[in-house]
Structure formats: C-alpha cells, structure tokens
Amino acid sequence: MSVMPQNYRKTASEDLLKEHYIDLKDRPFYAGLVEYMHSGPVVAMVWEGLNVIKTGRVMLGETNPADSKPGTIRGDFCVQIGRNIIHGSDSVESAETEINLWFAPEELVDYTSCAHQWIHD
C-alpha cells in the first residue's frame, strides 16, 4: 500500500514552515532555516511501508552531509548543513504530525500496487 499526494505545494508558506520546524524555534539557525526553505519550491511526499522511517532515513543520509555516505541523498547532493535539501520524519509520531500539517485527508490517495502480493506476505 502506498500513500501519495494528489497535488503538492510549489512553495510552502512561511507560517507552515515555522510550524513544521517549531521544535527548533529556540535554536540560533531557526530563522535562517525557515527563510531558506521558503526561498524555493518544496515537494512534499508521504511514504508508507515496512520500516519506512528507518529505511527512509538511511536513504536520506546524516543531517550533516559531510557525515553522509555516498549514494544517499545528502551524501550525493548536499554541500553544507545549513543548506540541507531534504527532510525526513524521525518517528511515526512526528510523521503523523507532519502529514497532518502538510496535507488535508482528501489530498492523500491510498492504493495497493499490483506488485504488492509479490513483495509482501
């Protein structure tokens, strides 16, 4: 089963970004992070699957791109920590909060891939 948005936002509002990163509001880089994320297009996605949080974070790489392995998104495409190009939820709970922040229920499509029965028990 996969969940994908029917549409996505080309840019995120400053208010949405402030709420998304609210847990970082007391950090010195918070304002710059919100400004950077607001400066260009954002593609929001919902991933679902077995161990999706753990697997997704492995695919993303370490927060500091210098610590990320080649073949990860941050390892291959990021240059510095202050210009991180991707975010991934760190827990199911934070994913649920972030999904509810970014998407209305009617924007999500729930479907079963034709390959599902060949991949999953």
pLDDT averaged per 10 residues, the chain (length 121): 52 94 94 93 89 95 94 94 89 95 90 85 76
Q: How far is CA 74 from the centre of its chain?
A: 13
Q: How much is the pLDDT for 1? A: 44
Nearest to 52, CA basis, from 99, 10, 7: 99
The CA distance from 14 to 34, in Å, is 7
Q: Where are the domains of the chain?
A: 2-103
Nearest to 11, CA basis, from 43, 33, 36, 56: 43
CATH number of 2-103: 3.30.70.141
Active site residues: 87
For residues 59-79, one letter each, b for 16 or more C-beta atoms within 10 angstroms of the residue's C-beta and e for the rest, the string is ebbeeebeebeeebbbbeebe
Q: What is the dihedral of CA 52, 8, 84, 69, to 10 degrees?
A: 40
Q: How much is the pLDDT for 7? A: 52
